[in-house]
Amino acid sequence: MTALAIVLAVVDACCYAAGARLQHQALHQPTRGATAGLRPAVVRQPRWLAGLALMASGAALHVTALRLAPVTVVQPLGVSGVVVGVLWGLRARRARLGAATGLSLLAVVAGTGAFATLAARITVATSVTATAQLWAGLLVLAMVAGCAGLAGALSGRRRCLAAAIGAGSAYGCMSVLIRAAGEEFTTSGVSLLLCGTLAALALTVLAGFWLVQKAQASGPPEVTVGCLTLVDPFVAVAIGIGLLGEAPGLTPVAVVAGLGCWALALVGVLQISRSTPAPHPRAPAPPREQAVPDPLTRRRHDVGRTLDAFDDLCLRTAGRPAADRTPTPHLRP
C-alpha cells in the first residue's frame, strides 16, 4: 500500500504543478484596464478552469494517498511538482537548463527524497485526536494570518514568498484534517465532530487557495510551487511528530539528519527563486484615438468645393476648359 501511495503522491504533485502553471498564465494574461490577479473575468477562462480541474484531481489523489500511508511519507513527495514546474518554465521561456538550476533541482530532489526515506523508516500511522486537531488548527491559523498580513504589506517577489509560505502552512494542516475526517467517518459515521472537522477543512482549503492565487499573481509559478513543496511537508511532519506522535522512536541523530535534508532542499528552492525571472506581462495596447474633425473646418472645406464646382460648370457652359487646381510643388531657389 505504501508503494501505491507514493505513486499517487507523485502524480498529485505533477497535476498541481501543471495546474499552477495554467492558472498563472491566466492570471497574467493582458486585460485592458485590469491588473494581474484573481478577477471575475479570469475564473471564466478555459485555461484557469483547466488548472483548477488539475488541482482538484491532484487533491483527490492526495486524499487517497493519505489513506494508504502516513502523512510524513506522502507530504515530502510533492517535490516532483518542483521539477515539473521548473522544466515547464524553462520550456515556456525557451531557455536551457543551466548548471545552477540543475544543481538546485538536484538539491531539492535529494533533500526531500532523503527526508521522505527517513520519515518512512521512523514514523508510523496514528489516530488524530480532537485535541491534536485543535492545537494544529490554532498554530496554523496564527501562521496563515501572519503570512497574509506580510503579503498585504509587501510587494513583488517578497509578497509571493510570504503568500506561498502561508498557503503551504494551510495545506500542511489540511492533510491532518483529511486524515481526521476519514477516521471519524469510519468510526462514528456522520457526527458533530465530523461536521466540525469538515468545516475547518473547508476554511483551510479556502485560505490556502486564496494565498496561492496571491502568490501566483506576484511571482513566477516555480517559486510558488517550490515554497509549497518545502513548507507543506515541514508543517505536516511537525504536526505528525509533535502532536500526533507518529515517531515514537525518534532520536537526536534522526532529528539532525531530517533538518539537514530539509535545509538542503531549502537551499535549492531559494536558488530557484533567485534564478527564475519574475513575470512581466505585456500590457494591452491602448485604444487608438481617432481625430475628431472640426465642424468649422469641415464647413469651410465643403463650401470651397461647392464654389470650385460652380466655377467649373460656368467655364464649361462658356466653352472653356475647367481650371486646373492641382497643387504645384514648392521649389526652393
Give a three-class secondary structure readout of 147-201.
Answer: HHHHHHHCCCHHHHHHHHHHHHHHHHHHHHHHHHHHHHHHHHCCCHHHHHHHHHH
Find out whether 275 and 101 touch, Cβ atoms under 8 Å: yes
Q: What is the pLDDT along the chain (333 residues), one digit of tens a residue?
A: 778 888 888 888 888 888 888 888 887 775 544 445 556 677 778 888 888 899 889 888 887 887 787 766 776 677 778 888 888 888 877 888 888 888 888 888 888 778 777 877 777 777 787 888 888 888 888 999 999 999 888 887 788 888 999 998 998 888 788 888 888 888 888 888 889 889 988 999 899 888 988 888 888 888 888 888 788 878 887 888 888 887 777 888 888 988 898 888 888 878 887 777 765 544 444 555 555 555 555 555 555 566 566 566 655 655 566 655 555 554 444
- Give the helix ranges, DSSP H, for 40-129: 46-68, 71-74, 79-93, 99-122
CA dihedral 89, 94, 100, 104 (to 10 degrees): 20
Task: Specify the pLDDT at position 146.
Answer: 92
- pTM over 0.75? The answer is no
d(CA 33, CA 261): 46
- How many Cβ atoms are within 10 Å of 63's Cβ, its own excluded? 18
The set of residues, in sequence order, having a beta carbon less than 8 Å from that of 101 and lying 6+ positions away, is 86, 90, 271, 272, 275
